[in-house]
Amino acid sequence: MLIYHFGTRDALLRAVLGHARQRQLDTFSDLLRARPDEPYTATLSRAWTSITGPDGQPYLRMFGQLRESAEQQLWPNFRRTATTDWLGPLEEGLRSIGRPDLATLVLAVIRGLLMDLDATGDTARTDQAFRHFLGAVEHLPPGYRSQDRATTSTNPVSDT
């Protein structure tokens, strides 16, 4: 009956994956939302705990397998989408500490540690690594912008 409704097995699977992906985006985007009553690194820490915990594991397993699929017939360009979907929420959250430019770095660390956790199952080590990363983020200078670097690094010799 379901195949009749969706037409093909792949269409049914795409619908299920699309629904699950939307639930993941809604849940994790809310976790990444800046809150006025806590530092954003605390928000990221709480999000990491949820993403790697029992609530996040089903999504990680499902979408990890889809991301690793060489052919990606069910969801073409999933790897790109699964990356770029998180940049906006991270940029917004990091803007609360004046560092939206760190969104790609934060996402790369999260994705790398998730791959590590998936491969090794070493929760204690990956949790500690994420805590160390957040500690480093807390000590970065505020307000670095790529425009600042472009104007100061184009001519390292001053005209004085």
In a domain, 160, yes or no: no
> Would you give the end-to-end CA distance of the chain in angstroms?
79
Our count of domains for the chain comes to 1
pLDDT in tens, 73-105: 666 777 788 788 899 999 999 999 999 999 999
In a domain, 98, yes or no: yes
In a domain, 153, yes or no: no
In a domain, 150, yes or no: no
Domain that holds residue 27: 2-142
For all residues of the chain together, what is the average pLDDT? 82
In a domain, 156, yes or no: no
C-beta contacts of 44-52 below 8 A and 24+ residues apart:
44/93, 44/106, 44/134, 44/137, 45/130, 45/131, 45/134, 48/110, 48/127, 48/130, 49/127, 51/110, 51/114, 52/114, 52/117, 52/123, 52/126, 52/127
In a domain, 87, yes or no: yes
